[in-house]
């Protein structure tokens, strides 16, 4: 009798082990690589993570704070994330293996999911600093974003096109959006360049604390960059408190990307879930309202993931 009990116990434990192993194997981990918490990538990424967790069977999805574009792409290449936000120019540089942009080799595992919304170059100065133009940044204290982030790469391009370099500045700080704003509030910085969607929380916060000036980036400066990812754009009047006029600037598209190792069915479900739940993304941040399915494939600088391709064929966007 004891032998039978032991046998049944062993069988039961073995079945439980097998069931547990099968359950673990069926769990799909989806790590969404975003950016700093004061930017737009993070709240939209959190919303996207929640969509995946709800809509994809057995998905465990999280949103990770990062230094944004360049770090996200390197993490994807290393398989340390399943989906990421990135700026178009950083994505193009990564695919080409542009070492100056922080990519020592071609990141050949990157695959596209969708175009998103535009980032706008937003150069904001303390109104008391006397800064009114790009040329006025000479001799001033400026934050250009975290080192080698998408924002910082944008800063290099904008300054170069305007005939400026970091050597022209009194002080260069490599800080995320939120930290830049805190230093400006404390009068330890004169200006900050932030590449983000319109109405980004960090600048809204700054504009309610001190009087700001949004510095124009004229169309002729944008043209001198010579990269089709940079297009003339406008920050509409009243985007921020105290900004009473339209301000010309540059806009750069954002993309949602993955890597070749993520299963086709998972990427198909991620793509479908996002477009079936756009209202959730729109509620996360106003900038996300520019995400439209008809724009999903415009300007994609890397190959489309087969899972995303399947979705776009299903909805008639690809023939």
Residues 73 and 157 grouped into a single domain: no
pLDDT score, position 282:
98
| Mean pLDDT along residues 174-183 | 96
How far apart CA 75 and CA 59 sit, in angstroms, is 20
The CATH number covering residue 81 comes to: 3.40.190.10
* Total residues found in the chain within this entry: 319
Neighbours of 168 (CB within 10 A): 16
- Assign 259 to helix, strand or coil: strand
- 92-134: pLDDT as tens digits: 999 999 998 889 999 999 999 999 999 999 999 999 999 999 9
Residues 126 and 247 grouped into a single domain: yes
Query: Which of 199, 231, 252 is a domain's end point?
Result: 252
Encoded tokens for 294: 């008809």
pLDDT score, position 25:
55
Q: How many domains does the chain have?
A: 2
* Pairing outcome for strands 141-143 and 231-235: unpaired
pLDDT score, position 148:
83
Residues 134 and 200 grouped into a single domain: yes
Residues 46 and 78 grouped into a single domain: yes
Query: Which of 209, 237, 252 is a domain's end point?
Result: 252
**Which one-letter DSSP state was computed for residue 58?**
T
Residues 155 and 237 grouped into a single domain: yes
Q: Is the pLDDT of residue 229 over 60?
A: yes
Encoded tokens for 112: 């596209």
**Which one-letter DSSP state was computed for residue 250?**
E
pLDDT above 90: percentage of residues in the chain? 88
Query: Which of 228, 252, 276 is a domain's end point?
Result: 252
Residues 89 and 129 grouped into a single domain: no
Burial of 211 (0-12, 13-18, 19+ CB in 10 A): exposed
Contact 151, 193 (CB under 8 A): yes
Query: Quick check: is 7 in a domain?
Result: no
Q: How confident is the model at residue 147 (pLDDT cuts 50, 70, 90)?
A: confident
Domain containing 151: what range? Answer: 119-252
Q: How confident is the model at residue 80 (pLDDT cuts 50, 70, 90)?
A: very high
Neighbours of 233 (CB within 10 A): 20
């Amino acid at each position: 009798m004891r032998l039978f009990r032991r046998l049944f116990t062993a069988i039961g434990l073995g079945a439980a082990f097998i069931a547990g192993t099968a359950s673990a194997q069926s769990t799909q981990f989806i790590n969404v690589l975003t950016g700093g918490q004061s930017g737009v990538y993070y709240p939209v990424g959190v919303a996207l993570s929640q969509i995946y967790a709800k809509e994809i069977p057995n998905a465990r999805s999280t949103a990770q704070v990062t230094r944004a574009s360049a770090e996200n792409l390197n993490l994807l290449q290393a398989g340390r994330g399943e989906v990421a936000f990135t700026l178009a120019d950083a994505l193009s540089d990564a695919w080409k293996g542009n070492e100056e942009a922080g990519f020592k080799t071609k990141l050949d595992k990157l695959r596209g999911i969708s175009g998103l919304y535009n980032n706008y170059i937003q150069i904001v100065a303390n109104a008391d600093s006397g800064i009114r133009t790009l040329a006025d940044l000479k001799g001033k204290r400026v934050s250009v974003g975290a080192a080698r982030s998408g924002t910082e790469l944008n800063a290099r391009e904008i300054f170069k096109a305007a005939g400026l370099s970091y050597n022209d500045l009194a002080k260069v700080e490599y800080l995320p959006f939120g930290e830049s704003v805190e230093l400006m509030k404390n009068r330890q910085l004169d200006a900050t360049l932030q590449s983000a969607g319109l109405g980004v929380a960090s600048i809204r916060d700054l504009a309610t604390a001190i009087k700001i000036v949004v510095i124009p980036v004229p169309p002729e400066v944008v043209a001198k960059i010579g990269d089709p990812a940079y297009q003339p754009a406008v920050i509409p009047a009243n985007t921020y408190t105290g900004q009473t006029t339209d301000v010309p600037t540059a806009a750069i598209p954002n993309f949602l990307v993955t890597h070749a190792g993520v299963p086709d069915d998972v990427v198909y479900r991620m793509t479908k879930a996002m477009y079936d739940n756009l209202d959730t993304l729109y509620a996360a941040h106003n900038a996300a309202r520019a995400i439209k399915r008809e724009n999903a494939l415009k300007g994609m600088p890397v190959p489309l993931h087969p899972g995303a391709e399947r979705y776009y064929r299903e909805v008639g966007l690809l023939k």
